[in-house]
Amino acid sequence: MSGNPSLVIAIDGPAASGKSTVAKRLASELGIVFVSSGGMYRAFTWWVLENGVDPARTGDVEALLEKTEFQCGEQDNIGTIAVNGQLLSREQLANEAVNGGVSLVAAIPSVRSRLVDEQRAYAKERGVVMEGRDIGSVVFPDTSNKFYIDASPEVREQRRRAEGIDDSIAARDKMDSNRKASPLVIPEDATVVDSSDLSIEEVVEKVKKSLVS
């Protein structure tokens, strides 16, 4: 067990808002686990594509889900997910095909329900900083530590280009915000931080100042 098990920090926001870097930095400073829930949706999307299943064919994705086991754990305070025993690299999780399919896969309620169970399990025995789209609204609605990290669309596109990643952010934002199942929303009780003109350190400081233990 690591860190304060009751400390659950939910960080939501759109793609390339900086939430992942902020969440990782914060978890490391606090000595608790960092979990990218997007990484979990990406891992299953990779598996969908690996099996030749079209992410747009919900029934086929659901049939594959039933035959899939996830193994969630942590390594050096970073959450890991293996799909049927296979751990995936960063490159596999962020490739162009996964970027293109992940919003479709993540919109399927049965997929969300399986992965939300895995996400909640992280907080049973340890403190956690988890980032995603619905962490404050659905996964941990009772936590007092909810943050929504935003940035302008221009800044977010620029950040992805600088990382050399081909990612249709605008299309993904639209799908993630307009889907029926757990869309990206700003939780009512979240602290909103606009990171457009702030450094990572400045965002981390702002979050730390608002934390309640």
* Length, in residues, of the chain: 213
Which of 18, 101, 132, 187 touches ligand DC by CB under 6 A?
132
Range in contact with ligand DC (rule: CB under 6 A) among 76-84, 102-110, 145-153, 198-206: 102-110
Give the count of residues interacting with ligand DC (CB under 6 A).
Answer: 14
Instruction: From residue 132, give the alpha-carbon distance in Å to each of 59, 66, 115, 177.
Output: 25, 24, 12, 12
For ligand DC, give the closer residue by CB, 101 or 127: 101
> How far, in Å, CA of 5 to CA of 192, rounded?
24
Nearer of residues 126 and 133 to ligand DC, judged by Cβ: 133
Based on the shown chain and the rule CB under 6 A, indicate whether residue 134 belongs to the binding site for ligand DC.
yes
| C-alpha–C-alpha distance, residues 41 and 91, integer Å | 15
CB of 124 to ligand DC, least distance (A): 18
Which amino acid is residue 109, in one-letter code? P
**Secondary structure percentages of the chain, helix, strand, coil, to 5:** 50, 20, 35
Residue 15 lies near ligand DC (rule: CB under 6 A): yes
Q: How many CB atoms lie within 10 A of CB 151?
A: 24
Interaction between residue 133 and ligand DC (CB under 6 A): yes
Distance CA(66)–CA(63), nearest Å, equals 5
Binders of ligand DC among residues 33 to 72 (CB under 6 A) are: 37-38, 41-42
Helix extents (H) in 90-179: 90-93, 96-106, 109-125, 153-162, 169-178
Check residue 180 and report its DSSP letter. S
Please tell me whether residue 150 binds ligand DC under the rule CB under 6 A.
Answer: no
Q: How far is the CB of 90 from ligand DC (least distance, A)?
A: 11
Nearer to ligand DC by Cβ, of 31 and 121: the residue is: 121
Q: Minimum Å distance from CB 102 to ligand DC? A: 4
> Could you say whether residue 176 binds ligand DC (CB under 6 A)?
yes
Q: Which is nearer to ligand DC, 22 or 106 (CB)?
A: 106
Helix, strand, or coil here: 66?
helix
Pattern 104-123, binding to ligand DC, x per CB under 6 A? --x-----------------
Provide the β-strand partners of residue 145. Answer: 9
Contact residues: ligand DC, CB under 6 A:
15, 37-38, 41-42, 102-103, 106, 132-135, 172, 176
